[in-house]
C-alpha cells in the first residue's frame, strides 16, 4: 500500500484524513509540530508520526531524512498545515499581518514539497494534495451570488490564492505527479471556531481530501475541486 504523509495532522482535518487513509490500508505518517500532541494523536490512530514544523527548514529536512531512512519513498503528500491569520480592518492591513499566514500556508507548503519531492519521485504514482479554500478563489470572491463573496479575508484568502497558483504551476512542471488543490468545505476546526448547522465534521471534510489523495496514476492533475471542479 501507499506511504502517506500529512502535515498539521494532530487535529482537525489533518487528523481525520490520517484516520481515513489508515482505515483504507495506507501507511500514514502523521506530521505535527508539537511532539506531545503529535505523539498523542499517533497513538490514538495507531500510526507513526514525524516531528515536522513547516516553518522551519531544519525540522522539515530532518523529517524528510527520517522518512527516507524508514520507507525510501513517499506516495502521498497532503499539505494540510494552515493558519487563518488574525482579523483586520481594511484600513489597518499591513504587510506584517500577512507574515505568519504566508509562512505556514505558502512558504511552508513550498518548503515541505521541495524537501519531499525526491521521495515522491521514487513513487510509481506520486500524489500531492494542497488543502486550499474558495476564500482564495477569484471565481468565488468576484461572484456576488457565492457564499464567500461578502467576506473580507485578505490574509487567509490571498495565501490560499497563492496555494492555488502554486498547484497549477507545479502540476504543469511535474506532469509525472498528480498535484491538485482541494476545498474541504466549511468544517468545524480550530481555524475559525465555527460549528453547528451547515458546518461539516472533520470526517466529512476529510473525504474530499482523501478522494484526491487516492487518485490513480492517470487521474486528474492541476485541478481545484470540492466534490466537483471549482472556478479558480
| Identified catalytic residue from 102, 160, 172, 226 | 160
For 72, which DSSP code?
S
Write down the catalytic residue from 15, 29, 102, 156.
156
Cell of 50: 514525524
Closest CA to 109 of 68, 77, 154, 75: 77
**Is 160 an annotated catalytic residue?**
yes
CA pair distance 224, 215, nearest whole angstrom: 14
DSSP assignment letter at 23: H
For residues 96 and 227, give the distance between their C-alpha atoms in angstroms, rounded to a whole number.
Answer: 35
Q: Is 15 a catalytic residue?
A: no
- Asked whether the beta carbons of 229 and 134 are under 8 A apart, the reply is no
Question: Hey, which residues are catalytic here?
Answer: 156, 160
Amino acid at each position: 500500500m501507499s506511504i502517506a504523509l500529512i502535515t498539521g495532522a494532530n487535529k482537525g482535518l489533518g487528523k481525520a484524513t490520517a484516520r481515513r487513509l489508515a482505515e483504507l490500508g495506507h501507511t500514514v505518517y502523521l506530521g505535527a509540530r508539537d511532539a506531545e500532541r503529535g505523539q498523542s494523536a499517533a497513538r490514538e490512530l495507531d500510526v507513526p508520526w514525524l516531528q515536522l514544523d513547516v516553518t522551519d527548514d531544519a525540522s522539515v529536512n530532518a523529517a524528510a531524512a527520517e522518512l527516507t531512512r524508514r520507507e525510501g519513498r513517499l506516495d502521498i503528500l497532503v499539505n494540510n498545515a494552515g493558519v487563518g491569520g488574525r482579523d483586520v480592518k481594511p484600513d489597518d492591513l499591513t504587510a506584517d499581518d500577512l507574515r505568519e499566514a504566508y509562512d505556514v500556508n505558502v512558504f511552508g507548503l513550498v518548503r515541505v514539497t521541495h524537501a519531499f519531492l525526491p521521495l515522491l519521485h521514487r513513487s510509481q504514482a506520486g500524489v500531492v494534495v494542497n488543502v486550499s479554500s474558495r476564500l482564495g478563489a477569484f471565481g468565488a470572491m468576484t461572484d456576488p451570488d457565492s457564499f464567500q463573496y461578502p467576506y473580507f479575508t485578505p490574509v487567509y484568502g490571498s495565501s490560499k490564492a497563492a496555494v492555488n497558483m502554486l498547484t497549477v504551476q507545479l502540476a504543469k512542471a511535474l506532469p509525472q505527479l498528480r498535484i491538485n488543490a482541494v476545498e474541504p468545505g466549511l468544517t468545524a476546526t480550530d481555524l475559525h471556531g465555527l460549528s453547528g448547522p451547515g458546518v461539516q465534521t472533520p470526517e466529512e471534510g476529510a473525504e474530499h481530501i482523501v478522494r484526491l489523495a487516492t487518485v490513480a496514476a492517470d487521474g486528474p492533475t492541476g485541478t481545484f475541486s470540492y466534490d466537483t471542479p471549482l472556478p479558480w
